[in-house]
Structure 1
Protein backbone atom coordinates (compact mmCIF):
# COMPACT_ATOMS: atom_id res chain seq x y z
CA UNK A 1 0.00 0.00 0.00
CA UNK A 2 2.87 2.39 0.79
CA UNK A 3 5.35 1.19 -1.82
CA UNK A 4 7.40 3.99 -3.31
CA UNK A 5 6.55 6.68 -0.74
CA UNK A 6 9.82 6.43 1.19
CA UNK A 7 8.13 5.26 4.39
CA UNK A 8 10.46 4.84 7.39
CA UNK A 9 7.94 4.25 10.17
CA UNK A 10 4.33 4.58 11.31
CA UNK A 11 3.46 5.93 14.75
CA UNK A 12 0.01 5.20 16.14
CA UNK A 13 -1.38 7.16 19.09
CA UNK A 14 -4.75 6.41 20.68
CA UNK A 15 -6.50 7.59 23.81
CA UNK A 16 -9.93 7.05 25.35
CA UNK A 17 -11.59 9.65 27.56
CA UNK A 18 -13.62 7.99 30.29
CA UNK A 19 -14.25 10.81 32.76
CA UNK A 20 -13.88 14.59 32.82
CA UNK A 21 -14.29 17.02 35.73
CA UNK A 22 -15.45 14.24 38.03
CA UNK A 23 -18.26 13.07 35.77
CA UNK A 24 -18.40 10.44 33.08
CA UNK A 25 -19.27 11.51 29.54
CA UNK A 26 -22.46 10.06 28.05
CA UNK A 27 -20.18 7.69 26.17
CA UNK A 28 -16.39 7.33 26.16
CA UNK A 29 -14.71 9.09 23.24
CA UNK A 30 -11.63 7.80 21.49
CA UNK A 31 -9.11 9.92 19.62
CA UNK A 32 -6.29 8.65 17.44
CA UNK A 33 -3.57 9.94 15.18
CA UNK A 34 -1.53 8.01 12.66
CA UNK A 35 1.80 9.56 11.65
CA UNK A 36 3.78 8.40 8.63
CA UNK A 37 7.46 9.35 8.52
CA UNK A 38 8.51 9.59 4.88
CA UNK A 39 11.47 10.83 2.90
CA UNK A 40 11.07 14.36 1.58
CA UNK A 41 11.42 13.97 -2.19
CA UNK A 42 12.02 17.71 -2.60
CA UNK A 43 14.56 18.31 0.20
CA UNK A 44 17.25 20.69 -0.98
CA UNK A 45 15.41 21.67 -4.18
CA UNK A 46 14.80 25.34 -5.12
CA UNK A 47 11.53 27.11 -4.21
CA UNK A 48 10.34 27.17 -7.83
CA UNK A 49 10.48 23.38 -8.21
CA UNK A 50 7.26 21.84 -9.61
CA UNK A 51 5.91 19.45 -6.97
CA UNK A 52 3.03 17.93 -8.92
CA UNK A 53 4.64 14.72 -10.19
CA UNK A 54 5.65 13.49 -6.75
CA UNK A 55 2.34 14.64 -5.22
CA UNK A 56 0.36 12.49 -7.64
CA UNK A 57 2.60 9.53 -6.89
CA UNK A 58 2.95 9.78 -3.10
CA UNK A 59 -0.09 11.53 -1.62
CA UNK A 60 -2.78 8.98 -2.62
CA UNK A 61 -0.84 6.09 -1.07
CA UNK A 62 -0.37 8.07 2.14
CA UNK A 63 -4.05 8.99 2.26
CA UNK A 64 -5.05 5.34 1.96
CA UNK A 65 -2.44 4.06 4.39
CA UNK A 66 -3.25 6.58 7.13
CA UNK A 67 -7.03 6.58 6.87
CA UNK A 68 -7.30 2.80 6.68
CA UNK A 69 -5.20 2.55 9.83
CA UNK A 70 -7.41 5.17 11.54
CA UNK A 71 -10.49 3.15 10.64
CA UNK A 72 -8.87 0.03 12.07
CA UNK A 73 -7.74 1.69 15.31
CA UNK A 74 -11.05 3.45 15.98
CA UNK A 75 -13.31 0.51 15.22
CA UNK A 76 -14.74 1.30 11.81
CA UNK A 77 -15.53 4.25 9.59
CA UNK A 78 -19.02 4.57 11.06
CA UNK A 79 -17.45 5.23 14.49
CA UNK A 80 -15.46 8.24 13.27
CA UNK A 81 -17.20 11.60 13.69
CA UNK A 82 -14.40 14.19 13.46
CA UNK A 83 -11.17 14.40 11.48
CA UNK A 84 -8.06 16.47 10.85
CA UNK A 85 -4.69 16.31 9.10
CA UNK A 86 -1.19 17.68 9.56
CA UNK A 87 2.37 17.72 8.27
CA UNK A 88 5.72 18.44 9.92
CA UNK A 89 8.64 19.17 7.59
CA UNK A 90 12.29 18.61 8.49
CA UNK A 91 14.78 21.46 8.44
CA UNK A 92 16.02 20.87 4.88
CA UNK A 93 12.49 21.08 3.52
CA UNK A 94 10.00 23.86 2.93
CA UNK A 95 6.56 24.30 4.52
CA UNK A 96 5.17 23.92 1.01
CA UNK A 97 6.53 20.38 0.85
CA UNK A 98 4.28 19.35 3.72
CA UNK A 99 1.38 21.27 2.23
CA UNK A 100 1.89 19.47 -1.06
CA UNK A 101 1.28 16.12 0.61
CA UNK A 102 -1.85 17.06 2.59
CA UNK A 103 -3.57 20.04 0.93
CA UNK A 104 -4.15 18.76 -2.60
CA UNK A 105 -7.05 16.57 -3.79
CA UNK A 106 -4.63 13.64 -4.02
CA UNK A 107 -4.69 13.46 -0.22
CA UNK A 108 -7.61 15.52 1.10
CA UNK A 109 -10.29 14.28 -1.29
CA UNK A 110 -9.28 10.66 -0.73
CA UNK A 111 -9.11 10.97 3.05
CA UNK A 112 -12.57 12.57 3.03
CA UNK A 113 -13.96 9.80 0.82
CA UNK A 114 -12.38 6.97 2.80
CA UNK A 115 -13.78 8.40 6.05
CA UNK A 116 -17.19 9.18 4.49
CA UNK A 117 -16.89 12.86 5.24
CA UNK A 118 -18.16 15.99 3.53
CA UNK A 119 -16.44 18.82 5.42
CA UNK A 120 -13.21 20.51 4.47
CA UNK A 121 -10.55 18.82 6.61
CA UNK A 122 -9.02 21.21 9.13
CA UNK A 123 -5.24 21.08 9.36
CA UNK A 124 -1.92 22.14 10.85
CA UNK A 125 1.50 22.27 9.25
CA UNK A 126 4.93 23.47 10.30
CA UNK A 127 8.67 22.92 9.95
CA UNK A 128 10.34 21.54 13.05
CA UNK A 129 13.18 19.47 14.47
CA UNK A 130 12.71 15.82 15.38
CA UNK A 131 10.52 15.24 18.40
CA UNK A 132 8.66 18.54 18.31
CA UNK A 133 4.92 18.20 19.02
CA UNK A 134 2.17 19.55 16.79
CA UNK A 135 -1.44 20.15 17.79
CA UNK A 136 -3.86 18.85 15.15
CA UNK A 137 -7.34 20.43 15.07
CA UNK A 138 -10.39 18.28 14.45
CA UNK A 139 -13.98 19.05 13.56
CA UNK A 140 -17.08 17.15 12.46
CA UNK A 141 -16.57 15.22 9.25
CA UNK A 142 -19.99 16.12 7.79
CA UNK A 143 -21.10 19.20 9.76
CA UNK A 144 -18.10 21.48 10.18
CA UNK A 145 -20.11 24.10 12.10
CA UNK A 146 -20.93 21.63 14.88
CA UNK A 147 -19.06 23.20 17.81
CA UNK A 148 -19.28 20.11 20.00
CA UNK A 149 -16.68 18.44 17.78
CA UNK A 150 -14.16 21.30 17.80
CA UNK A 151 -11.24 19.60 19.53
CA UNK A 152 -7.54 18.87 19.16
CA UNK A 153 -5.10 16.01 19.43
CA UNK A 154 -1.34 16.36 19.88
CA UNK A 155 1.05 14.36 17.75
CA UNK A 156 4.77 13.78 18.22
CA UNK A 157 7.35 11.40 16.77
CA UNK A 158 10.44 11.23 18.96
CA UNK A 159 12.96 10.80 16.13
CA UNK A 160 11.20 12.59 13.28
CA UNK A 161 11.18 14.47 11.12
CA UNK A 162 14.85 14.20 10.38
CA UNK A 163 16.26 16.98 8.20
CA UNK A 164 15.17 15.37 4.93
CA UNK A 165 11.87 13.87 6.11
CA UNK A 166 8.21 14.81 6.39
CA UNK A 167 5.78 13.54 9.01
CA UNK A 168 2.28 13.26 7.55
CA UNK A 169 -0.58 12.83 10.03
CA UNK A 170 -4.22 11.82 9.82
CA UNK A 171 -6.27 12.13 13.01
CA UNK A 172 -9.83 11.44 14.09
CA UNK A 173 -12.25 11.24 17.00
CA UNK A 174 -15.26 9.03 17.66
CA UNK A 175 -17.24 11.79 19.33
CA UNK A 176 -17.41 15.33 20.68
CA UNK A 177 -15.58 17.11 23.48
CA UNK A 178 -16.68 15.98 26.93
CA UNK A 179 -19.91 17.62 28.10
CA UNK A 180 -20.35 20.06 25.16
CA UNK A 181 -22.85 22.81 25.95
CA UNK A 182 -22.07 26.03 24.07
CA UNK A 183 -24.74 25.66 21.42
CA UNK A 184 -24.36 25.78 17.69
CA UNK A 185 -24.82 28.14 14.77
CA UNK A 186 -28.37 26.88 14.34
CA UNK A 187 -29.27 27.94 17.88
CA UNK A 188 -27.12 31.09 18.21
CA UNK A 189 -28.76 34.47 18.79
CA UNK A 190 -27.96 37.19 16.26
CA UNK A 191 -24.84 38.83 17.73
CA UNK A 192 -23.41 42.06 16.28
CA UNK A 193 -21.48 45.01 17.69
CA UNK A 194 -24.80 46.89 17.76
CA UNK A 195 -26.59 44.20 19.77
CA UNK A 196 -23.72 44.28 22.28
CA UNK A 197 -23.41 48.05 22.56
CA UNK A 198 -23.93 48.00 26.32
CA UNK A 199 -21.25 45.33 26.79
CA UNK A 200 -18.71 46.90 24.43
CA UNK A 201 -19.14 50.49 25.57
Structure 2
Protein backbone atom coordinates (compact mmCIF):
# COMPACT_ATOMS: atom_id res chain seq x y z
CA UNK A 1 0.00 0.00 0.00
CA UNK A 2 3.01 2.23 0.28
CA UNK A 3 1.55 4.27 3.12
CA UNK A 4 -0.65 6.40 0.85
CA UNK A 5 -3.99 7.69 2.19
CA UNK A 6 -7.01 5.67 1.07
CA UNK A 7 -10.46 7.06 0.37
CA UNK A 8 -13.16 4.55 1.35
CA UNK A 9 -15.36 3.26 -1.45
CA UNK A 10 -18.78 3.06 0.25
CA UNK A 11 -21.58 0.83 -1.06
CA UNK A 12 -24.21 1.32 1.63
CA UNK A 13 -25.04 2.37 5.19
CA UNK A 14 -27.16 0.61 7.79
CA UNK A 15 -28.84 1.89 10.94
CA UNK A 16 -30.53 -0.73 13.17
CA UNK A 17 -32.47 0.11 16.32
CA UNK A 18 -33.73 -2.40 18.88
CA UNK A 19 -35.89 -1.50 21.91
CA UNK A 20 -36.36 -4.05 24.70
CA UNK A 21 -39.37 -3.26 26.90
CA UNK A 22 -39.33 -6.27 29.23
CA UNK A 23 -37.79 -9.66 29.98
CA UNK A 24 -39.50 -12.63 31.69
CA UNK A 25 -42.64 -10.50 31.95
CA UNK A 26 -40.92 -7.76 33.96
CA UNK A 27 -40.50 -4.21 32.68
CA UNK A 28 -37.71 -3.24 35.12
CA UNK A 29 -39.12 0.13 36.28
CA UNK A 30 -40.47 0.83 32.82
CA UNK A 31 -37.12 1.93 31.44
CA UNK A 32 -36.53 0.25 28.07
CA UNK A 33 -33.15 -0.87 26.83
CA UNK A 34 -32.35 0.77 23.50
CA UNK A 35 -29.56 -0.62 21.32
CA UNK A 36 -28.54 1.05 18.08
CA UNK A 37 -26.07 -0.16 15.48
CA UNK A 38 -24.53 1.91 12.73
CA UNK A 39 -22.73 0.06 9.92
CA UNK A 40 -21.03 0.90 6.65
CA UNK A 41 -20.23 -1.49 3.81
CA UNK A 42 -17.01 -0.62 2.00
CA UNK A 43 -14.80 -2.15 -0.66
CA UNK A 44 -11.75 -3.83 0.85
CA UNK A 45 -8.86 -2.04 -0.86
CA UNK A 46 -6.48 -4.93 -0.20
CA UNK A 47 -8.81 -7.88 -0.83
CA UNK A 48 -7.15 -10.97 -2.22
CA UNK A 49 -3.59 -10.12 -1.25
CA UNK A 50 -1.33 -10.04 1.78
CA UNK A 51 -0.22 -6.52 2.71
CA UNK A 52 2.30 -5.96 5.48
CA UNK A 53 1.62 -2.28 6.16
CA UNK A 54 -2.05 -1.72 7.00
CA UNK A 55 -1.57 1.81 8.36
CA UNK A 56 -3.48 3.40 5.44
CA UNK A 57 -6.52 1.35 6.46
CA UNK A 58 -6.11 2.56 10.05
CA UNK A 59 -6.09 6.12 8.70
CA UNK A 60 -9.16 5.35 6.59
CA UNK A 61 -11.01 4.49 9.80
CA UNK A 62 -10.50 8.11 10.80
CA UNK A 63 -12.48 9.16 7.73
CA UNK A 64 -15.29 6.66 8.28
CA UNK A 65 -15.50 6.98 12.06
CA UNK A 66 -17.17 10.39 12.42
CA UNK A 67 -19.92 9.52 9.92
CA UNK A 68 -20.44 6.04 11.34
CA UNK A 69 -20.75 7.16 14.96
CA UNK A 70 -22.49 10.42 14.04
CA UNK A 71 -25.43 8.39 12.80
CA UNK A 72 -25.68 6.76 16.23
CA UNK A 73 -25.77 10.14 17.95
CA UNK A 74 -28.64 11.21 15.72
CA UNK A 75 -30.63 8.03 16.42
CA UNK A 76 -30.26 7.88 20.22
CA UNK A 77 -31.92 10.57 22.33
CA UNK A 78 -31.14 8.99 25.74
CA UNK A 79 -27.68 9.10 27.36
CA UNK A 80 -25.39 6.34 26.04
CA UNK A 81 -24.05 3.97 28.71
CA UNK A 82 -22.34 1.19 26.77
CA UNK A 83 -20.61 0.58 23.47
CA UNK A 84 -18.99 -2.00 21.21
CA UNK A 85 -17.44 -2.29 17.74
CA UNK A 86 -16.96 -4.96 15.08
CA UNK A 87 -15.94 -5.69 11.51
CA UNK A 88 -17.14 -8.39 9.15
CA UNK A 89 -14.49 -9.27 6.57
CA UNK A 90 -15.41 -10.80 3.22
CA UNK A 91 -13.74 -14.09 2.31
CA UNK A 92 -11.10 -12.44 0.10
CA UNK A 93 -9.72 -10.61 3.14
CA UNK A 94 -8.08 -11.53 6.41
CA UNK A 95 -8.82 -10.65 10.01
CA UNK A 96 -6.00 -8.11 10.36
CA UNK A 97 -7.57 -6.00 7.61
CA UNK A 98 -10.75 -5.76 9.69
CA UNK A 99 -8.94 -5.05 12.94
CA UNK A 100 -7.14 -2.17 11.20
CA UNK A 101 -10.49 -0.35 10.93
CA UNK A 102 -11.25 -0.38 14.67
CA UNK A 103 -7.95 0.41 16.37
CA UNK A 104 -7.26 3.42 18.62
CA UNK A 105 -7.82 5.93 15.80
CA UNK A 106 -11.44 4.83 15.46
CA UNK A 107 -11.83 4.11 19.18
CA UNK A 108 -10.91 7.65 20.19
CA UNK A 109 -13.37 9.09 17.68
CA UNK A 110 -16.05 6.76 19.00
CA UNK A 111 -15.45 7.88 22.59
CA UNK A 112 -15.55 11.57 21.67
CA UNK A 113 -18.88 11.27 19.89
CA UNK A 114 -20.66 9.35 22.66
CA UNK A 115 -19.72 11.78 25.40
CA UNK A 116 -16.43 10.23 26.44
CA UNK A 117 -15.57 6.79 27.74
CA UNK A 118 -12.91 5.55 30.14
CA UNK A 119 -13.23 1.83 29.40
CA UNK A 120 -11.72 0.00 26.45
CA UNK A 121 -14.26 -0.76 23.73
CA UNK A 122 -15.26 -4.42 23.38
CA UNK A 123 -14.81 -5.68 19.82
CA UNK A 124 -15.22 -8.61 17.45
CA UNK A 125 -13.85 -9.26 13.96
CA UNK A 126 -14.29 -12.29 11.73
CA UNK A 127 -13.94 -13.44 8.14
CA UNK A 128 -17.36 -14.52 6.86
CA UNK A 129 -19.39 -15.41 3.77
CA UNK A 130 -22.03 -12.94 2.58
CA UNK A 131 -25.02 -12.76 4.93
CA UNK A 132 -23.29 -14.11 8.04
CA UNK A 133 -24.25 -12.73 11.44
CA UNK A 134 -22.03 -11.23 14.11
CA UNK A 135 -22.50 -10.72 17.85
CA UNK A 136 -21.15 -7.29 18.73
CA UNK A 137 -20.17 -7.27 22.42
CA UNK A 138 -21.20 -4.39 24.67
CA UNK A 139 -19.77 -3.16 27.99
CA UNK A 140 -20.16 0.01 30.05
CA UNK A 141 -18.30 2.90 28.45
CA UNK A 142 -16.74 4.13 31.70
CA UNK A 143 -16.22 1.02 33.82
CA UNK A 144 -15.59 -2.45 32.45
CA UNK A 145 -16.46 -4.21 35.73
CA UNK A 146 -20.11 -3.13 35.69
CA UNK A 147 -21.64 -6.57 35.08
CA UNK A 148 -25.14 -5.30 34.33
CA UNK A 149 -23.88 -3.90 31.03
CA UNK A 150 -22.26 -7.09 29.68
CA UNK A 151 -24.45 -7.55 26.64
CA UNK A 152 -24.37 -7.61 22.87
CA UNK A 153 -26.30 -7.04 19.66
CA UNK A 154 -26.63 -9.64 16.92
CA UNK A 155 -26.53 -8.22 13.42
CA UNK A 156 -26.96 -9.71 9.96
CA UNK A 157 -26.57 -7.92 6.65
CA UNK A 158 -28.25 -10.09 3.99
CA UNK A 159 -26.15 -8.87 1.05
CA UNK A 160 -22.89 -8.02 2.80
CA UNK A 161 -20.03 -8.37 2.94
CA UNK A 162 -19.27 -9.50 -0.59
CA UNK A 163 -15.93 -11.36 -0.76
CA UNK A 164 -14.06 -8.11 -1.51
CA UNK A 165 -15.85 -6.00 1.12
CA UNK A 166 -15.74 -5.07 4.80
CA UNK A 167 -18.61 -4.10 7.11
CA UNK A 168 -17.52 -1.69 9.85
CA UNK A 169 -19.93 -1.56 12.82
CA UNK A 170 -20.45 0.60 15.92
CA UNK A 171 -23.08 -0.22 18.56
CA UNK A 172 -24.33 1.67 21.61
CA UNK A 173 -26.88 0.98 24.34
CA UNK A 174 -28.72 3.23 26.78
CA UNK A 175 -28.63 1.00 29.86
CA UNK A 176 -27.68 -2.43 31.15
CA UNK A 177 -29.65 -5.64 30.68
CA UNK A 178 -33.30 -5.70 31.69
CA UNK A 179 -33.56 -7.14 35.23
CA UNK A 180 -29.77 -7.52 35.68
CA UNK A 181 -29.21 -9.11 39.08
CA UNK A 182 -25.75 -10.65 39.26
CA UNK A 183 -24.10 -8.19 41.62
CA UNK A 184 -20.91 -6.24 41.11
CA UNK A 185 -20.57 -2.45 40.94
CA UNK A 186 -23.66 -0.59 39.79
CA UNK A 187 -23.59 2.02 37.04
CA UNK A 188 -24.55 4.59 39.68
CA UNK A 189 -21.41 3.71 41.68
CA UNK A 190 -18.85 4.21 38.90
CA UNK A 191 -15.78 6.22 39.86
CA UNK A 192 -14.74 6.64 36.25
CA UNK A 193 -11.04 6.84 37.10
CA UNK A 194 -9.37 3.79 35.56
CA UNK A 195 -11.94 2.44 33.13
CA UNK A 196 -12.49 -0.63 35.30
CA UNK A 197 -14.72 0.34 38.22
- Tell me the distance in 1 between the aligned counterparts of 2:101 and 2:55: 10
Deviation at 1:30, TM superposition (A): 0.4
Provide the residue aligned with 1:111 in structure 2.
110
TM-score (norm 2): 0.86
Structure 2 counterparts to residues 39-188 of structure 1, below 5 A: 39-46=43-50, 48-56=51-59, 58-75=60-77, 79-102=79-102, 104-115=103-114, 116-184=116-184
Q: Secondary structure at the match of 1:68?
A: helix
Aligned residue-pair number: 179
Q: Secondary structure at the match of 1:67?
A: helix
Deviation at 1:185, TM superposition (A): 5.4
- Write out the 4+ residue segments of structure 1 that deviate beyond 6 Å after TM superposition: none
| Structure whose alpha-carbon radius of gyration is higher | 1
- Tell me the distance in 2 between the aligned counterparts of 1:53 and 1:66: 18
Q: What is the RMSD computed on CA atoms of the aligned residues?
A: 1.5
Equivalent in 9, 13, 23 of residue 10 of structure 1? 13
